[in-house]
Amino acid sequence: MQGKASDPGLGGHTPANEARIKTLDGLRGLALLCIVSFHAVIICGAARVDWYPLVRWGPATLDIFFVLSGYLITGILIRARGKPHYFSRFLVRRALRIFPAYYVVLLFIFGLGPFLSAEFAASGTADDVLWYALYVQNIKTSFEGWPAWPYVAHLWSMAVEEQFYLTWPVVVWLLGPATLARLSAALIVIGIGAKLTVAALGDPGAMAHTSTVTRMGAIAAGSWIACQDPQRVRDWLRLPLLWLGLALGAFIGVHVLRLTPGGGLGYGLATITATLTPGVVILLIHAGRLPHVASEMLTQPLLLWLGRLSYGMYLLHYPVAGIVFEWNADWLNAGLATSPNFTAFVFTLIVFATTTPLAVVMYHLVEAPALALKDRYNPGRRHVAGQQEPTQLKLNPP
């Protein structure tokens, strides 16, 4: 017999107070800072920027988004399991959260791109629009490599997320939380193993980075966390050996950050670190045991604000950065030739300064109205006139 999701040990647990929920937005904001800065420096030419090592690990912060998605989505699905309209409610609400901003950005790129960017018009990237519209661009990238106009390359992660949204509800519906936790643990190993195997045998394109299978480990890590009872996790955290293991993992992680990814032991350790580090942080948040100093850092107003805008800013930042660089190529290239560190820093600020207001406008005109519809969509609920709706704690939308 299926129990209620709130029963001890059945999983589907989520943070139980507003302070802990805010840390999830802070994590998003931190990841966004890293990935936008990384892409800005890559456009400038990483080899000539001395401070590139500070942002070199930007792509690894995508695992923060994946672990968060696995954690929040699995929790939502476990709590909804066995209830009416399980599939339709989840899929419609996900569509209202994801589709509007995504397709507005696709319209901006593929509709206005030929007029805004001569490089885009000449690249032939417009021919790939159907891959992006159907959320399968990561399959093309896996086998053929990065797109000719590189500033749509980041959208592969949207395809991985959407493929997860379409398949995981079936998995959660078929399995109980205990079995789901075991499956998630297995998928962590399979995902990391697949990534290392592809890298070792020879990547046909960008499969190690963009395939759903090779990125499965981070999503599964979040799913495994969602299946755990927070009290049980707190009991684990009382074990000295666990803290010794976390300290050893942190020590290895710090030294991994000094290695350049590219193959061998360094690549393997980097892959494992990129998955497990956000996993440990979210596990501590889940259990309410995140150290105070980390909680204070993640709840800084700037990170929280960026976290709330992170979806739109992530979608927009790379094409905007590419167009801005093309329009200002003469003075930027001249500056990079003489003062690469300063010019790259200025360009990074310009990318944030141009992307942020666009993301704010898109949030208010596109995302917020869709989120309002999402919050109102609840099939099967009968509202009695004069009856007040029960107050529920809202998680930040992943």
Q: Going residue by residue through the chain, which has 398 residues, state the pLDDT in tens, using 9 for 90 and above.
A: 333 333 333 345 554 444 447 899 999 999 999 999 999 999 999 999 999 988 988 888 899 999 999 999 999 999 999 999 999 999 999 999 999 999 999 999 999 999 999 999 999 999 999 999 999 999 999 999 999 999 999 999 999 999 999 999 999 999 988 999 999 999 999 999 999 899 888 888 899 999 999 999 999 999 999 999 999 888 887 766 555 565 555 555 555 444 444 444 556 667 777 888 889 899 999 998 888 898 999 999 999 999 999 999 999 999 999 999 999 999 999 999 999 999 999 999 999 999 999 999 999 999 999 999 877 777 765 544 444 433 333 344 44
Residue 26 Cα to chain centre, angstroms: 13
Give the end-to-end CA distance of the chain in Å, rounded to a whole number: 30
The tokens for 238 are 């009382």
Which is nearest to 80 in space by CA: 161, 5, 179, 184?
Answer: 5
pTM of the prediction?
0.87
